[in-house]
Amino acid sequence: MKTRHMNFSDGISTSAPPHGPVVGRASRLSSICVHQKKDRRDALSCEVHGRNARERATWLRHVATIRFLAIALLFASFVRADEVRIATMRLGTSWYVFGATLYKLLKDNLPAGTRVEVIAKGGGVGNPVLVNSGKASIALANVASAVWARDGDAIAYEGKKHENIRALVGGLNSVWYIVLAREEFVARTGQDTLEKILLGKEPVRIIMKPRGSTIPVIADMIFDALGTSRARIAANGGQVLQVDPQQIPDLFRDGRADVYFEAAPLGHPTVTEVTLTSQVRFLELPESVIHKLTRHGLRPSALPKFFKGQTAPTPSVDLGTVLLAHKALSDELAYLITKTICENKTVMGKGHKAWAKFQPEVAGQPENTGILLHPGARRYYEEKGWLQAQR
């Protein structure tokens, strides 16, 4: 009789006729039983093995944790005791020069092992945010923007208060708000004052630094004080361009911008380059604008006759400059940083001429700091007799 092969699910292979009873049934059943017992043993073995695997994984996790803790303990003594991150502004700005000069001074005067780093970004408005959030230990800011940050100014900080910032050194230098117009634009349009330029029929292309700087914030305040806005300037065919400082001189020289808004100390590199490579006119801030800006903490002050193109001091406002710190900065570090700056006035002045007139004895006065002093800085000023000790 011919047979055919049948495959069972348990893997047993046997022969059976196409019809009728299966041949060799007892033998096959015996074989099936053997395999079932083996399956149970395998299942039991799998269960034990699975439990062992889980226990081994748990054990490995414990070992990894212990190893991590051991490494942490081993290297704990090598973790730097303190770090000072100085927020300044982009490369090529006067604040970056200040940061680089301060970096050299701090490296020589702070405790061994203190890591000092200069952050080449930020600005008058952005730096208080970096300090408040702990992303920078100290930072340069304008006195006005420090007050705005503390109070949560609606325009500059959209109502958000920054309560972690403290002052170390104020009165570092004056920073005047400057508006320059290309002489070619003035001659072509006949618009020779800031009011005429912003409110006239001729479209105007205004250039300034990007967001994060104080410049665009004050520009919007000026627009509002004169009854205009960015939207109205654009609707008239004009434009407000916000670019990196390095691009400004070329854009202005090539006639791709008509008016330049800036906040600058004496010797400001970008303003200096613009005045040397383009024919410019310094525009006065109108009295009505200055009056409204004082409500935002800006101090009336004329820009001294200093830059090429100035024929006389230019009526403006002073934003001031202050060095900020996070309130969590140790009193010892705050004291040392304050002492280092105040006792190296000559070195700071050589780094940038804007700091040549810095007066350490008034650096802790409220009108020069705008906000609360850090306790470490206050201790230094009290020891020098420049501030009355608090009781």
> What DSSP string describes 294-311?
HTTTPEE-PBPS-STT-S
d(CA 123, CA 212): 5
Kindly state whether residue 16 falls inside one of the protein's structural domains. Answer: no
Q: Phi-psi region for residue 267, left (φ > 0), alpha (ψ -120 to 50) or beta? A: left
Kindly state whether residue 8 falls inside one of the protein's structural domains. Answer: no
Kindly state whether residue 136 falls inside one of the protein's structural domains. Answer: yes
Is there a contact between 248 and 160 (Cβ–Cβ < 8 Å)? no
Please report, for the domain that includes residue 376, its CATH number: 3.40.190.10
* Residue 87: φ, ψ to 5°: -85, 125
Mean pLDDT, residues 179-183: 98
Is the per-residue pLDDT at 72 higher than 50? no
Provide the number of structural domains found in the chain: 3
One-letter amino acid of 159:
G
Is there a contact between 217 and 296 (Cβ–Cβ < 8 Å)? no
Q: Answer yes or no: do 62 and 27 share one domain.
A: yes
Q: Domain range holding 288?
A: 176-318
Q: Percent of the chain scored above 70 by pLDDT?
A: 79
Mean pLDDT, residues 235-261: 96
Kindly state whether residue 10 falls inside one of the protein's structural domains. Answer: no
Q: Answer yes or no: do 301 and 332 share one domain.
A: no
d(CA 316, CA 298): 10
Among 317, 220, 307, smallest CA distance to 263 is for 317
Is there a contact between 119 and 87 (Cβ–Cβ < 8 Å)? yes
CA angle in degrees (0–180, nearest 5) for 340-344-345: 125
| CB-neighbour burial class of residue 220 (10 A; exposed 0-12, middle 13-18, buried 19+) | middle
Average pLDDT of the chain to the nearest whole number: 83
pLDDT for the residue 284:
98
Mean pLDDT, residues 197-207: 97
Is there a contact between 155 and 294 (Cβ–Cβ < 8 Å)? no
